[in-house]
Structures are given as structure tokens and as C-alpha cells.
Amino acid sequence: MSFFNELHWRGFVNQMTHPELPDILDKESVTLYCGFDPTAYSLHIGSLLPIMGLAHFQRAGHTPIALVGGGTGLIGDPSGKAQERTMLSREEVEHNCEGIRAQLERFLDFKGSHAAIMVNNADWLCEVKLLDFMRDIGKFFSVNALLNRDSVRARLEDRESGISFTEFSYILLQAYDYLYLNKKYNCRLQIGGADQWGNIVSGMDITRRLNNASTFGLTFPLVTKSDGAKFGKSEKGNIWLDSTRTSPYQFYQFWINQADADVSRFLRYFTFLPETEILALDEQIREAPQERAAQKRLAEEVTRLVHGETALANAVTASNAMFGGDWTALDAQTLLDVFSEVPHTEMPLETLQRTELLNDLLVHAEVFASKGEARRLIRNGGLYVNNMRIEKEDVTCNALPLLAGNLMVARIGKKSYHLIRFV
């Protein structure tokens, strides 16, 4: 299978500017770029498809440029946004750029014959003089054409927020990026999400006019879920690539909980597994969906890519522990990650000495409203503490070892949990 055919099979191809691009990519080594917006210190999984795209190109013998928008980040891309972004300071943008660079290095190889290149457009955009830019670049952009852009037109229709000249100018700045990268690195291809089509075409046009260069554009689809829900979000919000914002366990669980209708497509998007393995997993989805083999493989591959082998192993251990395994094998941080979304109570450690009976402790921690409620649940076999069933009403606190030295997890029935942390 040719490189472009593999891209197409994996679902990466949404639009391309030239029908001859597949032949060029299969016959030549091309330098290409993709930009990443530093609105936060970490990227989230909404950026994972273009990152994987860059990595696929590099593996096929092309040279990827990862552009971090330290300059354009001071403006903000209006594409797909209903309201103007909150302005970030130069210090905030630079801080965010540093975090993003570190994440991109997990996916791209910065050594060898097709070594990836990392650039920050603040290095050239912050040096541009306003009047020179307006004379040399601005004159090639038709306001009439820009007003017809979907991202601009949608904002103009909103009489309350509209669009500022600041955001309106973003298109020109991104186009200038392509012009600069073409001249310095002979960059001939820009890739990005489907919402970047207009920006890409503008960059190609100015590059043709001022560099007399033939360039190309390719967009990826915007990832959606089969049920219509927005991809990349959980109940708590964005799924981040930074382990301090989304723990490896939470990250792993996000992927393992994907629906059967989505998992095959996500295996193509977000892993490097070959076609034969993905097709075999497709068959398992059809033949034995209850085993969730495809989801497990997806979660393993993506977690390993983003967080590494050790973090994956810890996430798998934690996941197995939650479904009948040994909770005592989990460290404090993993337990806190696992139970981060359940009700929790902090109590002084000396409470254990003052409270003799477990029932009294659980009422004091507001797990139960009354001792009678606790006793009824015990009699019905529905109370578990630290994954052990409580069978007697007179169990004392000192009869139950704590998890990680200071944690207790009460489970009521099958799915209701309460975390008690002794401090």
C-alpha cells in the first residue's frame, strides 16, 4: 500500500488542494508543517490527529515541521470559535509553548536524515514591522474574500460579539507563516484540521505570489463520535496530554470506554498498528464485542504513545484492580486518580483512634445518614470497605488496614463509592 493510500485508508484525508499530491508524496521527500495553538500549557486529544499525521509523514520519509504559535497565540485563531478568545500575556504564551514542545517530542524524531524541526512563529512575527506588513502582505488579501470565510461570516452574524480586527488579522499572520517556512525550509505542504482550509489556501496564495513557489494543502477530518457527542471530552472536561491535568489512569479509561461504533475508526486514527492487526480487531468487535479487545488495544497503544510504558503499566494495574484485583498494590496517587470523581471526605488521622466501630466512622464521614442505614446495608451484604465485604455490624476500624497508609474506600452496592482520606 502506498503512503497516500494508507493515509486515505486510515481516514486522514478530508480535502487536498491538488489531485497530483498523492503521486508527489509517493515519489518525493517533502517538507511539511502543521501549527499548534498555545492556548494552554498542554495540548488535548483534539490535537492528536494532526500530531499523528505529522508522525505518519515522517515515517514515510518526509520532513515534518511542528510550528508552535507563540506569535499567532497572542492573537487567537477565530476558526470554529463563537466568541473571541481571552487574550494571553506574552509570558503565558511562551510558557504554554514550552509545554507543547515537550509533548510533541514524544511523537516526532528530531534526529536522523528526516529529523523533525520545531519552530515558534514568534521568532519572525514579533520582528515584523506593521507598515511593512500592511504594504507587502496586506495588499494581496481581498477583504471581500475574507468576509466570505465561514469562520468570519459566522462571527459577523453575531451582532453582540462580532469579530475584532485583531482576530480578523489572524488569517494574514498564518499565511505569512507558510511564506516564511517555504522560503527558509522549502516547506511545500501545510496540513491541519478541516477548519483550517481557508487559512491554508491563503498561505498557498501568498507563497505563490511572493516566492513564486508551488505549494500544497491537505486537511484532516474533524473527529466526531458516532452518537454525536463531542470527541475529546469527558464529564470533567478536556482529555489532556499532560499527566498532571489528565492522569494516565483517566486517560486509559477514556479510550477503553469508547463505543464499538467508534473504536475501529479510532484505531486507524490514533495508533500505528498495521492494517492486518486493525482488521483482525474489527473482526473481534463483530464476533465478540463483550470482550472489548479492540478497546483494550486502543487504550494500551494511545496511553503508551502519550505517557510511556511505565505509566501504561500502572494504568492497566489500576484498571484491573478496580475489577476484582488487589487494591493494596496501588500507590496513593493512583488511588486518588482512580477515585477522583467520587464523593470524598477528609478526616483527621486521630479519628481512627476516637472512633471504635466502623459504622460510627462511616456516619461521621457522611457515607451514611444514620447507623441504622449502615446496619441494614451490612445485613444485606451490600457494604464493602477497601474492596472487602463487611459481614458483621461490630467491625472495628483497627480491623481494616488502610490503603496506601491513609485511604479508605467504601463501596455501597455495585457502583457507589466514597473515598475517605485521613490527614
* Crossing angle (nearest 10°) for helices 260-270 and 275-287: 170
Spatial distance between the Cα atoms of 285 and 294, rounded to a whole number of angstroms: 7
Main-chain dihedrals φ then ψ at residue 272, nearest 5 degrees = -100, 15
Which pLDDT does position 242 carry in this prediction? 93
Model pTM?
0.84
- Output the DSSP codes for 202-219: HHHHHHHHHH----EEEE
Which of 79-83, 188-192, 231-235 reaches the highest mean pLDDT? 188-192
Predicted pLDDT of residue 143: 82
Q: Which long-range contacts (CB under 8 A, 24 or more apart) does 284-291 make?
A: 285/260, 289/260
Q: What CATH architecture is 233-325?
A: Orthogonal Bundle (1.10)
Query: What CATH number does the domain located at 3-220 have?
Result: 3.40.50.620
The residue extents of the domains of the chain are 3-220, 233-325, 344-422
Secondary-structure class of domain 344-422 per CATH: alpha beta
The pLDDT tens digits for 229-279 are 778 766 667 899 999 899 999 999 999 999 999 999 999 999 999 999 999
Residue scoring higher pLDDT (81 or 281): 281
Phi, psi of 87 (to 5 degrees): -65, 135
Say how far apart CA 35 and CA 168 lie, in whole Å.
Answer: 18
Q: Do domains 233-325 and 344-422 have the same CATH topology?
A: no
DSSP secondary structure letter of residue 138: G
Q: Which residues contact 19 (CB under 8 A, 6 or more apart)?
A: none
Q: Is the pLDDT of residue 63 over 60?
A: yes
